[in-house]
Amino acid sequence: MARPFQITTNVARVLRALVDDPTGQHYGFGLMKATDLKSGALYPILARLEAAEWIEGHREVIDETQAGRPARRYYTLSADGVVHARQALAELHQAVGYRGLPGPPQPAGGVT
Amino acid sequence: VSALKWVGGLLLAWVVLEMLKNLVLVETATRLERIPYAILRLARRRLPVEHRKTIHDQEWLPELVVIVRETEGLPITRLVRGVLYSIGLLFVASRVSKIRAVAPLAPKSRRRRKRIKMIEALTYAGLLAGAVVALPWPLFEAAALAALGASAAMWAARSGLTLNGRMARFAVAGGCNLLAIWIVLVGMNVEIIEAYTLPFAVLALAAGLYEDRKRPYLGSWLAFGPGLVAGISPSLAVALVDQNPPVARPTLLISIALVVIALGMLRQQRALVVLGSAQLVIAVSSALLAAELGWLLAVMVVATSLLSGIAWRLGVLDHNLQRVRTSLARMR
């Protein structure tokens, strides 16, 4: 099935962070830390994922005066999003021939 | 004694210098803290007006507050992190807003879209059949048409529509409500139609405010336009035609126009300001013409044109002055 966007390395990083906690509430700053992406790279990806309905945006319900800060926006993976994200990551792994982490490096020329 | 004076003087100078140093430090720290917010405000200006609230006010700004708060006591780290966060968004602001603008149009699954279309068609068919059956009874006919209009407006506001589809549904909604109001007015021989149209306009305004809050992607024209036009245009049409209007009509029309303009200015909604201004111009003109004060209307038109011309000319001069200043600054 054609995807509404390309699964680039950065998109895969975001998907990985989301799939690691599929029911969690993901905030922009938290995702920046988890993916090591800058805001300029992260927010367009989040907008694309939301446009494709893989994630859903919600506003935090807090007493802003008591919290001393404005309510933040967080994202959760949608039911379809979990399936699509896992499938996309699996396809990506398959495309690069990923078979788990490599073992320790072997010395060149073998052991005498 | 002179040595004591020297010591005293030095102490005083030290105290004053310490105070000055602290003041400068606080001033510098405060100004540095504002830099990330200032950059983020620039990013906000790159967003379309209808997206500023949802993207900047509700998402980017709260995150910046959290980033700044997390690095409390580390002024340089805070500055660097805040500036990096804001600068990143400054460069992608327009891209994010473009993606978000398409968000409500995101394709849904084919089966779900089919089901929604079928439910919508059934709703229209049922209400249209009701309107046809109610033809001999004007009041019921008006009620059926109003229900049809309200239903079209509700369908128009949902996400996942193209702009044309949304506009068409809003047009149907406005037309049906206009027709319903007209049937009530003709069928009941109403003397002061504002008794019916203006409450509808207030309702349309409240509905527009709700829609604007719940579905900001609609924009002010779609949220307020159809309801206000349907609510106000019958009164305006009658006001233009009626040679002997009741005293209450111009007062009511002008009052509600002023309320609409004030609301538009407060909420920075272009549709409200434009529609309110149009209503105000028509209401004032018809009131002046009815009072045989056409000359006053002519004076007002000339004065407005002159003022607009002067304002435009001053704007051009100011723009030229800014260009000269920028050029001079570059020369240094």
Q: Which residue has the higher pLDDT, B159 or B67?
A: B67
pLDDT score recorded for residue A98? 65
If you average pLDDT over each of B36-50, B64-78, B94-108, B128-142, which comes out highest? B36-50
Query: What's chain B's average pLDDT?
Result: 79
Interior angle at CA B220, CA B215 and CA B225, nearest 5: 110
Q: What is the pLDDT of residues A50-74, one digit of tens each?
A: 988 889 888 888 888 888 889 999 9
- Predicted TM-score (pTM) of this structure: 0.46
Share of chain B above pLDDT 70, in %: 82
**Shortest Cα distance, chain A CAs vs residue B67, angstroms:** 7
Q: Is the pLDDT of residue A16 over 80?
A: yes
Q: Which of B65, B100, B107 sits opposite A47 (nearest CB)?
A: B100
The SS3 of residue A76 is strand
- Residue A94 makes CB contacts below 8 A (sequence gap 6+) with none
Q: Read off the pLDDT of each residue in A13-37 and give the average, rounded to a whole number.
A: 92
More confident call, B314 vs B208: B208
Residue A46 has pLDDT above 80, yes or no: yes
Total length of chain B: 332
Contacts of A32 in chain B (CB under 8 A): 85
Q: What was the pLDDT predicted at A102?
A: 52
Residue B215 neighbours by CB distance under 10 Å: 15
**Is the pLDDT confidence value at B21 over 70?**
yes
Asked if A47 lies within 8 A of B89 by C-beta distance, the reply is no
**Which chain B residues have a beta carbon less than 8 Å from that of A5?**
none
B88–A48 CB contact, under 8 Å:
no
Mean pLDDT of B183-211: 77
pLDDT on residue B179: 83
* Whether pLDDT at B94 is above 60: yes
- In angstroms, the CA B288 to CA A62 distance is 53
More confident residue, B319 or B142: B142
3-state secondary structure B35-79: HHHHHHHHHHHCCCHHHHHHHHHHHHHHHHHHHHHHCCCCHHHHH
- The residue with greater pLDDT, B283 or B331, is B283
What is the predicted pLDDT for the residue at B28? 81
pLDDT reported for residue B160: 61
Q: Which of A72-76, B114-118, B295-299 has the least mean pLDDT?
A: B295-299
Closest C-alpha among A63, A53, A58 to residue A84: A53
Cα angle B250-B253-B257, degrees, rounded to a multiple of 5: 135
Band (A6; pLDDT cuts 50, 70, 90): confident
Angle at B175 between CA B169 and CA B180, to 5 degrees: 125
Contact B100 A48 (CB under 8 A): no
pLDDT band at B218 (very low <50, low <70, confident <90, very high): low
- For chain A, list residues whose CB is within 8 angstroms of any CB belonging to chain B: 4, 27-29, 32, 38-41, 43-44, 47-48, 50-53, 57, 59, 69-73
Q: What is the mean pLDDT of residues B44-65?
A: 88
pLDDT at residue B293 is higher than 70: no
Q: Which range, of B106-110, B165-169, B277-281, B320-324, averages the lowest pLDDT?
A: B106-110
